[in-house]
Structure 1
Amino acid sequence: MNKAIEIISREHQTQKTVSLGNSANSSLKLTESSVVQMQASPADIMSYERVGDDLVLHMKDGSTIDYSEFFLEDAAGKHSELVLSEAGKQPVHVAFDEAAMADASAQGGATELAAEFEPMANTDSLLAKSAGAAGGLLATLVGAGIATAAIGGAAIAIHNNNKDDNDHDRESDTPSIVVNPITGDDVITNKEAADGVTIDGTTTPGADVVVVVDGKEFPAIADDNGKWAVEVPAEVLDGAGGADRIKVIVTEPDGDKAEIDHPVIIGTDEVPITVNPITGDDVITNKEAADGVTIDGTTTPGADVVVVVDGQEFPATAGDNGEWAVEVPAEVLDEAGGADSITVIVTEPDGDTAAIDHPVIIGTDDMTITVNPITGDDAVNAREAADGVTIDGSSSAPGAGCEVVVRIGGEEFKTLTDENGDWSVDVPAEVWNGLDGEANIVVVMTNETGNTGAVDHTVTVDTKGPEVTVNPITGDDVVNAGEAKAGVTIDGSSSAPGAGCEVVVRIGGEEFKTQTDENGDWSVDVPAEVWNGLDGATDVVVVMTNESGNVTEVDHAVTVDTGKPLLTLDIVAGDDIVNALEAATGVPISGTASAGAEIVVKLGDDELVTVADDKGHWSVKVLPEQLELLDGDISVEVTATDKSGNTNSIDHQIKVDLDGPLLTIDTVAVDDVINAVEALTGVPISGTATAGAEIVVKLGDDELVTVADDKGHWSVRCCRSNWSCWMVISRSR
C-alpha cells in the first residue's frame, strides 16, 4: 500500500504531503503538534502502540509507521492527532483513552492503545485556532485530500527501514517523496502564476523526478542532498485553474518507483477580485485588532469566497451586487502580527477559480509605541507645513535598531530607534500641502525579533487661510468727493470662527489694523487724507491671519472719483428772454454734461429731471403752464450728478416777459383797399407801439423792418413789388 500522508500544523495550519511508498518500516519525526492525516481506513491498521512519546501503527500488511514525538505536548498541553481518510468517505478521528495513555507513559516501554473512531465533517476542531466557520474551504479540501496552507510547512523527518527476520537493514522497495508547499501556501495566485512558479521538495539523492501539472511533465534529478526543483511557466498554470493536484513521480537509480498527488489551488481564471483597504489603510493597529476587523471587497455575484488569515479560513458568499465580507476575530489577528498578506480565494458558480494575496501589516505584538504631539499641539498650520514637520516619539522596545515606518498622506518615511528607543522622521512640505483637516498617521514598528506593533495618531492639518469677504465700499465700490471728504469705512467678514483673527487693510500706501469680532466681522476707518491722494481704480488689499497662523490675502478694487462732472447751459430762448409767444409753446432749456450724469433743472418751484446722453447732451422743456407762474428776472439752477455721486451746479438768470409791447396798425390806404393808383406811388403802413420796439411788417415773402420812435409811432412804405394776396404784421420781441 502506497501510504500518502498529510502533516498539518495545529498551530499554523501549514501542511506538507509525504509519500512513504511501500516501505515495510517508516519513521516520521513531528517537530510540532500536528494533525496527521493518512490515506487509510481503520481496517488497514491492526494495532496502535505508544512507545515513549512515539505513536507506532502496526499495519495489516505487516509494515509499521512510527510517528516520532506524536505525544509530545505543545505549550497549550496538546499533542498530535491522527485522522484516517479514504477517497469519497468521511474522515475518521482516531482517539485514544487519555487515562490509559497516562498509565503507559508512567510505565515506560511499549503499551498497546485502545482506539476509538470518531467520524468528523472536517478537521477544524483539531486545530489550535478556529478556521472561521465549520465546513470552510480548508476543511472541505482536506477531507478530499486537498488543503490550503500558510507560508512554511510542518517540519518532518522521514526514515524508511526494511528489516528482515534477522533484523538486518535492507534497501527500501519504494522511495519517499516530500513536496514543499507551493508558493509557500499551496495557493497559486494570479500574480504568482503570471511569473511562473517553482515546485520543489526532497527524495532519494540521484532519483529522477517528474512533476505533472495539467497534463504537462517537468523533469528534474534530485541532488546529493535529495533536493529537487522544477519551474512551471505561466502558460501551463493559466490553463489549469481551480482546486487541483499536481503529481510527483520519483524513480530511484535502482528502479524503485513511487508517486504522490499534492493538492494545490491554482487561481488563474479570469475572475474579478477586489479587496478593500483593510481598516482603511491596510494597517491593523493594536487597538483595531483588539476589536476584530472586517475584511471585505467585491467579486462575481454568487461566488464562494474564502479569506485566509494566518492559516485560518473565513468563508463568505458574494451578494447580488458582488459584495462580500468576513469578520476576523481578535485572537486570530493577535497570533498573526507583522508584515503579512491575506489570501482571498474566489470560486465562481461555474467553477472558475482565482486567488490573490493582499498585503497588510498586523501590529498586534506586545509593543508600546508613543507618538509625541506633532508641532506641540497636533495641529499643523501653513507656516509649519511650509518648513516641513518632524514626527517623533518613543518605544518600549529596548535598545537601538527597531525599524519605524511612518505613513502619512500616502507616503512612507523610515527610520530606526536610537539606544533609548526614541525615533523621528522629517515630513516635507509637499506632503502636508496635499492634506487638509484631520489626517491619520500610522506608525509601524518592528523589533529585531520580527515582532510588530502599530498605532494610529491623528493630526489636524490646517494650511488653508480663512475665507475673507470685503463688503462693497460705500455700497457701490465708488468713492466720490463727498464720501472721501467724510472718510470711508471698509468692512467685511471671515469664515474663521470666533474673534481674534488679525486683519490688515492696505490702501494708498497706508495700513489699518483690526481684529475680527466673535462673528468674524471686521472694519477699519480710512480718513479723508488717504482718499484725497487717490484717483481712479484703486486696489484695497486685505490680509487676514487666523489663530493657526494661516494667512489669506485678497484684493478688492474700488474706484476713487472726486472730480466734478462737466456742466454747461445754453442761452434760453436765444436771448435769455422768454416772451409770450415763446411761452405759448413751451421753452426748451438745454446744455452739455458728463455722459450719464443726472441733470436737475430748478425753475421757480418746479424741478425738471433728465440724464445726459452718451454724447453728453441734455435737454428739458418748460411747459406753458409752468411759465405762466413766472415773471421778470428768474434764476435757473442746473445741477449735474455723475455716476460717482459728484455734483456740479450752474445758476443762470433769464427774463420772463409775458406782457408784450403795445401795437396798433392804422387803416391802410384809408379803406384797407389798395387800388392801382395807390399801388403805383407806394402805400405807407403805420401805427403805434411801445417806444423803441422793433416793428416787422411781413408782406408775402417780404419783411419790412422799422423801430417805433420815442413817441411810439412807426411807419414803413410798401412798393408795388411788395404786394401779394395777403399781409401779416407782427411786432418784435
Structure 2
Amino acid sequence: MTLTSSELTGLGNGDKAIVVTVTDEALNTNSVSGLAHFALTPPTIAINAFAGNNILDYAESHQTQILSGTTSNVEVGQTVQITIGGLSRSAQVTTDGSWSIALTPTELAQLASGQITATVADKAGNSANAPAITLTVDTSVPTPFLTLDPVAGDNAINLTESGGVLTISGTADPSMVGQIINLSLGSLLIPAATIDSDGKWSVTIPSIALLPDGNYVLSASTVGGVTASANILVDRIPPQLTVGVFAGNDVLNASEAGSVQILRGTGSEIGTNVSIKIHGVTHYAQVQSDGSWSLSLSSAELKTLPQGPQDIVVELADKAGNLTSVTHPITVDTITPFLTVDALGVGSVLTAAEILLGLPLGGKGDPGDTVTVTLGPLQLSAIVDENGN
C-alpha cells in the first residue's frame, strides 16, 4: 500500500503503531505489529552566550568554560557537532533538550577569534544549524582578576548537596597572592579565604541548612576592590512523578502483548524527559505542557518480557539534580491457561432425572484459576483445586 503525503503528515510526531492483519480463505487470521518513529517537525538548535558575553578574556581563559545550548524536536542522545574558534568538539542532547561541552584552560589557549557553530540531526535525518555566534578572544593580561568556580559543579544546590560540606573556590591574579577574600551568600556566615601562591583559593562551609530554598548571589571581594559574583540556586524539593496503571490492571496478558501498550504518568518538570527502564531497556518520554508523559511499547518488546513479576522503574530529575524514582510493579502472564472438560458423562439431551439431581461437570486446569461454565442462560463458576480439578 502507498500512503500519500497528506496522510503521513496527518499522523503527527512520535512513535506510531503499525498493525498488519492477514486473513486466509478459511477466515484464519494472524497479525504483526511494530512501531515507526515520525519526526515531521523540523529540529532547532541554539547556542548560549559563551563566557557570558562571547568574549574570552585572560581570567576566563585560566578556568574551565562551559559552552552550552538548547535543542527542540531532537531525541535524547543525538550528537551535536560544534566548532569554536577553530576547535571541533561534539556533545550529546540530554533529557531536557540541552547540550554542553567543557573547555579546559589547555583547550582555551588554542582558541582564536572566529565563529561558534553547532549542528544537529534527529533520528529521521532532519538537520538544523544554529545561528553562528562571533567569538572574540582577548587573553592579554588585564588588571588583577578574581574568579569563582561553579558551586556544587553547576551553581545549583540540591537536597543531597545541601546536607554535606560545601566548598567555594576560585582563582585570582598572581599579583594578589596572600590577600584575603570576603564571601557572602544570603544569610550564611562564611569564613574568609586566602589566595595561595598558585593563585587558587577555597573555603568550606559545614552546612547550608539555614539557607532557605531560592535564588541567591554569591559575592567575593578583596580589600583592594576586586570582585566576582555568581547566581546560585538552592532547591531541595524533589520533582513530582507518578506512573499510571499499565495494560488496564498492571497485568499483561497474551492479548495485550499482541498490540502496542501505552504507559502514562505525570511529572512536574515540563520539557524534561523521564527515563523509563523495563527489563534492562531504557526509554525516554518528555513531560508535556500539561504535566503528562507517555511511552508506547511495541508488541515485539512486550513479547520479550519474562513471565511473572516485573518492575518498571521511572525517574525524573530537576535542574538542581534532585531525583525522584518510582518503582511500578507489573505482572507478565502471557501463557494461555490449561483447561480440559470431562464430557464423558454429559449427553446431548438433558433428562428429567438430570434436571432433578443436577448435572455433574468437571475437568482439569491450572490450580487457582477460575473456570466459567455457560449453559443457555445459566453461568456458573468454579475454582480449580490444588490437584488441578
Q: Give the TM-score of the pair, scaled to structure 1.
A: 0.27
> Larger Rg: 1 or 2?
1
- TM-score calculated relative to the size of structure 2: 0.48
